[in-house]
Structure 1
Amino acid sequence: MTLATYNIWLSDHHADERYGAIAQLLSEHSPDVVVFQEVTPRALAAFLAQPWIRERYYRAAVTGNEFGDYGQLMLSRLPISRVTYTHLPTSIGRGLLQAELTVNGRALAICSVHLESGRRASRLRARQVDRVFSAVGAAEDVVLSGDFNMRDDEDARIPNSYVDAWPTLHPSEEGFTEDTSVNLMLLDSKKKNRRVRFDRVLIKGDGWTPALIRLLGTEPVSSTLPRVFPSDHFGLLCRVVRTAAQRSMHG
Structure 2
Amino acid sequence: MSKQAKQIFTPLPVYKYTIPGWQPYTQKAAAVNVETLTIASFNVLCDLYEKDKIATEKRLPAIVEELSQCKADIIAIQEATPNLLELLLSQPWVRNYYISESSTAATVRPYGNLLLSRLPFTLVEHQFLGRKRVLVGSCEINGQLLHIAVVHLTSDRSQNALEKRQHQLTTIVAYLQNLPGSSLIAGDFNTRGNEQEDIITNAGYIDIWQKLNPHTPGYTFDPQRNALAALMSLQGIPVRLDRILLRSQNHDWQPQSIDLFACEPVADTAEKIYPSDHFGLYAVLKTTR
State TM-score, norm by structure 2. 0.78
1:228 alignment counterpart: 273
**Would you tell me which structure has more strand in proportion to its own residues?**
1
Residues 191 and 85 of structure 1, relative CA distance in 2, 3 Å threshold: closer
Residue type of the partner of 1:230?
Answer: P
Tell me if the contact between 2:40 and 2:70 (Cα under 8 Å) persists in the aligned partners: no
1:44 aligns with 2:82: no
1:169 alignment counterpart: 212
CA distance in 2, matches of 1:16, 1:225: 16
Give me the CA root mean square deviation.
Answer: 1.9
Residues 117 and 191 of structure 1, relative CA distance in 2, 3 Å threshold: closer
- Count of residue pairs the alignment pairs up: 239
CA distance in 2, matches of 1:157, 1:110: 17
1:112 alignment counterpart: 150
CA distance in 1, matches of 2:134, 2:275: 23
Q: Deviations over 1:99-157 (max 9, x none)?
A: 11121222111110111110741011111111111121123201110011112233222
Tell me if the contact between 1:86 and 1:135 (Cα under 8 Å) persists in the aligned partners: no
Q: How does 1:13-162 map to 2 (within 5 A)?
A: 13-54=54-95, 56-61=96-101, 69-80=110-121, 82-88=122-128, 90-91=129-130, 93-118=131-156, 120-139=160-179, 140-152=181-193, 153-160=195-202, 161-162=204-205
Tell me if the contact between 2:200 and 2:206 (Cα under 8 Å) persists in the aligned partners: no
Quote the sequence identity (%). 33
CA distance in 2, matches of 1:191, 1:102: 41
Give the deviation of 1:94 after TM superposition.
Answer: 1.0
Give 3-state SS (helix, strand or coil) of 1:143's partner.
strand
Give the deviation of 1:8 after TM superposition.
Answer: 0.6
Structure 2: unaligned runs, 5 residues or longer: 1-36
1:212 aligns with 2:257: yes
CA distance in 2, matches of 1:23, 1:224: 17
Tell me if the contact between 2:78 and 2:114 (Cα under 8 Å) persists in the aligned partners: yes
CA distance in 1, matches of 2:113, 2:99: 11
Residue type of the partner of 2:279?
Answer: F
1:3 alignment counterpart: 39
Structure 1: unaligned runs, 5 residues or longer: none
Give 3-state SS (helix, strand or coil) of 1:232's partner.
coil
Give 3-state SS (helix, strand or coil) of 1:203's partner.
strand
Residues 224 and 114 of structure 1, relative CA distance in 2, 3 Å threshold: closer
Give the deviation of 1:35 after TM superposition.
Answer: 0.8
State TM-score, norm by structure 1. 0.89
